[in-house]
Chains A and B, each alone.
Chain A
């Protein structure tokens, strides 16, 4: 695909994606979109944005997410219950777990945290399996066909002014995992050497997701110029507004990888272990969403690989909760 065509395609895809967000018309997840820029996944919103509704399947797409905290686990297999409880309840900054809705951070607010420095170096490649790519021959792809190498430095579409995550990730990972001898999925995090600590300034972003699932990895890569991708802890919150008390509802969530979910300060769901995001993977016990504002917090940890999450509420009778609004304050 030549660069001009790709830009045209990207513009077109963006129009389609924006026009079809929140589920109307063509499903933006149904066809390949190789553009991984921020605006393919999120719309950044202001603090006074009008309340949102759940999408047609009830998924909550409005979240306020802080740029991720480095936790450079080289694998996901050590995400035991005790490990994630320790790591996902560790306070990195004041107010991280506050339940005071009146003092919630706003998009653009910043905090400074001390975190582990990212570890350098990749893992082995797959070359050992003998996979020789066709040496330039094979079937030449026609102009504009999908599946051509992305041109150097062409991030698809230009980003809007002021949007986070302008550039393509610097040093996007080139390595692969090597061998099947154990450790490909990583060892236990506890085996890591004593980490080097660094100061990191993190910014809060209120966003509406264009997909039902919140692509945390794309939030990370786009808000860090590609410096953050794997080995991260994400913290996010959303505010659920109810016209009346809603007893006996259940929070249903999926995450990649482990996560802990709180509603109004109460831990209601833990998704432990190395896991993929699956809608309704876990559900809470019956909870009550009270009349007025309800604070939902989530923390997600992932080592290498995709990271994302999704969440919605179910009524006791199995129907999806839709009669709520969602705000970021």
Chain B
């Protein structure tokens, strides 16, 4: 099947899974190397992406068993995986193995992982015990401690500490610590004073009937106990939902976090079944939103028509065209006591054709103003077949027209009468960890500086450097 066909199917539906050929199961946390993105799934099958949105088959890492994970430590990449995987009805002898690689680029002369015999065993489970040592997950704590979590539905999820220099078990005499029970695909992340243990509950590997879902608990200690939002220990099965299913996609599992920069975080995972791609298991990357101290899967903006509202004031981004008053009553008849018996009628909304004839034909500036659902305030977002990590680029046009929002030289804004697909007319839209969005042009003429759409004052907009702590950098997309 050609890439074009896949792209068209995905774009016509939604923006909740990657496009291209993103077929994978149990993806490792996304790793970046020399400007490209990589992940590997069970069996070592690889995916690679030039931009983080379009994914294709990548290099397979030989001799990798189930559910690998990857973390960059210094200038090297630590790979962890399980050599086995008994499954529900099988034996439960599992082995967690680690090894370092210098680069993820198969074309590099430094590319390669050690042969299987030189990789390091860091944990194991026996044929019959209350643990099945698969599904490794790695975390480097802010203090520089490296931990691996592992286990599956057969009993406990366990963890042990590793040596960041060698990837080997740090204390070979220490027993593994039980941190959860009866889940899969665990990993830990750190946020704002808490360690979060994420795991996958539900039924795996049952296609469109899978109920796989990602849950989490948290602890102030990296070794737990990890408690959920109702006070349940994950050793008691607890876990607060991060993501389950969304229309057309079932079975979210195998969480991995990528922090792009302060305030911009993504979660990688697989859908057990993508209804729009024959129910196959696909890679997905969505924003992470932190709400009341808990992570949730956020939303990429679906194609559609929106008000683009400033977080600063709540005003709406609009085309700077002549304000056209609407005909009609003043609406105060009832307010001041008269007219209670008057029959109500619906006032027609102002239409594009009511006003577009008076708009200038060339470039038109934008500004920010009270939202009145007028045609110059309604923006249509159309997802493109390229993007950044976890989000497509969008063209942003005035609904009903091809007039497109564009960055200009000098880091200002305009609209051009016809969308051409030029880089300055493509916009990445990332949901931030507080639920708002940032809007960034793919390119700005004359500069390589990375900028985003910002409020300047309440009533104007420009481009400027992104700062998560600056309300001027944040926007919301509203549909009514």
Interface residues of B in 148-168 (CB under 8 A from A): 153-156, 158, 168
Q: In the bound complex, do residue A212 and residue B236 qualify as a contact, i.e. CB atoms below 8 Å apart? A: yes
- Smallest Cβ-Cβ distance to B205: which chain A residue: A184
**Does B178 touch A at the CB level, under 8 Å?**
yes
Contact of A147 among B81, B123, B127, B178 (CB under 8 A): B123
Interface string of A95-131 (1 = CB under 8 A from B): 0000000000000000000000000001101101111
Count chain A CB atoms within 10 A of each CB in B66, B120, B128 and give the residue with the most: B128
Contacts A139-B120, A144-B173, A174-B91 given; does A130 touch B130 at CB 8 Å: no
Contact of A29 among B43, B89, B129, B235 (CB under 8 A): B235
Q: In the bound complex, do residue A304 and residue B120 qualify as a contact, i.e. CB atoms below 8 Å apart? A: no
**Does A281 touch B at the CB level, under 8 Å?**
yes
Contacts of A175 in B (CB 8 A): 86, 89-91
Q: In the bound complex, do residue A123 and residue B90 qualify as a contact, i.e. CB atoms below 8 Å apart? A: yes
Contacts of B375 in A (CB 8 A): none
Contacts of B182 in A (CB 8 A): 256, 276-278, 306, 308
Closest CB of chain B to A183's CB: distance in Å? Answer: 9
Contact of A134 among B44, B118, B281 (CB under 8 A): B118
**Does B211 touch A at the CB level, under 8 Å?**
yes
Contact of B178 among A32, A74, A303 (CB under 8 A): A32
Q: In the bound complex, do residue B153 and residue A130 qualify as a contact, i.e. CB atoms below 8 Å apart? A: no
Interface of B is mostly: loop
**Does B57 touch A at the CB level, under 8 Å?**
no
* A111 to B146 alpha-carbon distance, docked (Å): 54
* A138 to B281 alpha-carbon distance, docked (Å): 33
**Does B401 touch A at the CB level, under 8 Å?**
no
Given A138-B117, A177-B90, 14 further pairs, Cβ under 8 A: A34-B129, A36-B130, A75-B88, A126-B85, A134-B119, A135-B117, A136-B117, A138-B119, A147-B124, A175-B86, A175-B90, A176-B84, A186-B89, A278-B182
Contacts of B201 in A (CB 8 A): 276, 278
Q: In the bound complex, do residue A279 and residue B88 qualify as a contact, i.e. CB atoms below 8 Å apart? A: no
Interface of A is mostly: loop
Is the interface on chain B under 10, 10 to 19, 20 to 34, or 35 or more residues?
A: 35 or more
* A281 to B175 alpha-carbon distance, docked (Å): 30
* A237 to B201 alpha-carbon distance, docked (Å): 28
Count chain B CB atoms within 10 A of each CB in A74, A169, A185 and give the residue with the most: A185
Q: In the bound complex, do residue B204 and residue A185 qualify as a contact, i.e. CB atoms below 8 Å apart? A: yes
**Does B372 touch A at the CB level, under 8 Å?**
no
Closest CB of chain B to A212's CB: distance in Å? Answer: 7
**Does A145 touch B at the CB level, under 8 Å?**
yes
* A58 to B370 alpha-carbon distance, docked (Å): 57
Q: In the bound complex, do residue A306 and residue B155 qualify as a contact, i.e. CB atoms below 8 Å apart? A: yes
Which A residues have a C-beta under 8 Å from some C-beta of B? 27, 29-34, 36, 74-77, 122-123, 125-126, 128-139, 141-142, 144-150, 168-169, 172-177, 180, 182, 184-186, 212-213, 215, 218, 221, 230, 254, 256, 273-274, 276-281, 303-306, 308, 310
**Does B459 touch A at the CB level, under 8 Å?**
no
Contacts A32-B177, A134-B121, A254-B237 given; does A139 touch B90 at CB 8 Å: no
Contacts of B65 in A (CB 8 A): 126, 129-132
Interface string of B109-132 (1 = CB under 8 A from A): 000000011111111111111110
Closest CB of chain A to B318's CB: distance in Å? Answer: 49
Contacts of B230 in A (CB 8 A): 280
Contacts of B154 in A (CB 8 A): 305-306
Closest CB of chain A to B46's CB: distance in Å? Answer: 12
Contacts A145-B173, A276-B237 given; does A138 touch B90 at CB 8 Å: no
Contacts of B236 in A (CB 8 A): 212-213, 278-279, 310
Contacts A185-B88, A215-B130 given; does A131 touch B238 at CB 8 Å: no
Which B residues have a C-beta under 8 Å from some C-beta of A? 25, 42-44, 60, 62-66, 81-93, 95, 97, 116-131, 153-156, 158, 168-169, 172-178, 181-183, 201, 203-207, 209, 211, 225, 230, 232, 235-239, 281
- Smallest Cβ-Cβ distance to A226: which chain B residue: B128
Q: In the bound complex, do residue B87 and residue A172 qualify as a contact, i.e. CB atoms below 8 Å apart? A: no
Contacts of B43 in A (CB 8 A): 128-131
Q: In the bound complex, do residue A129 and residue B44 qualify as a contact, i.e. CB atoms below 8 Å apart? A: yes
* A34 to B126 alpha-carbon distance, docked (Å): 8
- Smallest Cβ-Cβ distance to A59: which chain B residue: B236
Closest CB of chain A to B122's CB: distance in Å? Answer: 7
- Smallest Cβ-Cβ distance to A230: which chain B residue: B89
Closest CB of chain B to A311's CB: distance in Å? Answer: 12
Contacts A32-B176, A36-B129 given; does A182 touch B206 at CB 8 Å: yes
Closest CB of chain A to B451's CB: distance in Å? Answer: 43
Contacts of A33 in B (CB 8 A): 130
Contacts of A279 in B (CB 8 A): 232, 236-238
Contacts of A144 in B (CB 8 A): 173
Contacts of B238 in A (CB 8 A): 278-279
Contacts of A138 in B (CB 8 A): 97, 117-121
Contacts of A305 in B (CB 8 A): 88-89, 153-154
* A149 to B211 alpha-carbon distance, docked (Å): 34
Closest CB of chain A to B428's CB: distance in Å? Answer: 33
10 A-B pairs with least C-beta separation:
A131-B65, A177-B87, A304-B89, A278-B237, A129-B43, A305-B88, A176-B90, A132-B63, A304-B88, A126-B85
Contacts of B124 in A (CB 8 A): 146-149
Q: In the bound complex, do residue A146 and residue B281 qualify as a contact, i.e. CB atoms below 8 Å apart? A: no
Closest CB of chain A to B131's CB: distance in Å? Answer: 7
Q: In the bound complex, do residue B116 and residue A134 qualify as a contact, i.e. CB atoms below 8 Å apart? A: yes
Q: In the bound complex, do residue B66 and residue A129 qualify as a contact, i.e. CB atoms below 8 Å apart? A: yes
